[in-house]
């Protein structure tokens, strides 16, 4: 009996995955863990304010620096994540990632989670509304 190749069948260098596409704010699924996607993305400029009602969102900065603005209980604050830093946005918290000079990031979130969350502002053309693309797409 043959089986389909999955994203977890062979080791994958993150640098190789990131070199395989150029689109910004367009995550690629590099692995799956239980019911979660491990996604990488190239980002520059601003994403949209959005929230995920049913899940936290984990960020790891691979290259560059990522900023995440957060709105909690009427208060806005920004966290800055240099290369190698991790941060988790709690479920339901409105947030907006941005990278003025560009960055490469890894995200860990449930399969099927939209890149713009469950609640978001108007989506500009440069933002890909997706649940993550397969590598090579």
For the chain, the domain total comes to 1
Rg (CA), the chain: 15
pLDDT at 119: 65
Domain that holds residue 58: 29-132
Gap between the Cα atoms of 135 and 137, Å rounded: 6
pLDDT at 121: 64
**Residue 101 placed within a domain:** yes
**Residue 17 placed within a domain:** no
**Residue 95 placed within a domain:** yes
pLDDT at 4: 41
pLDDT at 10: 82
3-state per-residue secondary structure call for the chain: CCCCCCCCCCCCCHHHHHHCCCCECCCEEEEEECCEEEEEEEEEEECCCEECCCCCEEEEEEEECEEEEEEECCEEEEEEECCCCEEEECCCCEEEEEEEEEEEEEEEEECCCCCCCCEECCCCCCCCCCCCEECCC
**Residue 13 placed within a domain:** no
Cα distances (Å, whole numbers) of residue 54 to 14, 42, 117? 27, 25, 9
**Residue 91 placed within a domain:** yes
pLDDT at 2: 37
Cβ atoms of 40 and 101 closer than 8 Å: no
**Residue 14 placed within a domain:** no
pLDDT at 1: 37
Ordered per-residue pLDDT tens for the chain, 137 residues: 333 445 667 899 999 999 999 999 999 999 999 999 999 999 999 998 999 999 999 999 999 999 999 999 889 999 999 999 999 999 999 999 999 999 999 999 999 888 876 666 676 676 666 777 788 77
**Residue 16 placed within a domain:** no
**Residue 106 placed within a domain:** yes
Asked whether the whole model's pTM tops 0.85, one would answer: yes
CATH number at residue 94: 2.60.120.10
pLDDT at 129: 63
């Amino acid at each position: 009996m043959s089986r389909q190749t999955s994203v977890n069948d062979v080791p994958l260098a993150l640098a190789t995955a990131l070199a395989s596409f150029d689109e910004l704010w367009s995550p690629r699924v590099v692995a799956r863990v239980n019911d979660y996607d491990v996604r990488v993305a190239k980002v520059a400029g601003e994403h949209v304010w959005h929230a995920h009602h049913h899940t936290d969102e984990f960020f790891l900065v691979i290259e560059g620096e990522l900023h995440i603005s957060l709105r909690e209980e009427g208060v806005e604050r920004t966290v800055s994540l240099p290369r190698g830093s991790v941060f988790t946005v709690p479920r339901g918290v409105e947030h907006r990632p941005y990278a003025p000079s560009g960055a490469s990031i890894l995200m860990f979130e449930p399969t099927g989670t939209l890149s713009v969350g469950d609640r978001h502002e108007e989506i500009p053309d440069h933002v890909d509304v997706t649940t993550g693309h397969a590598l090579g797409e």
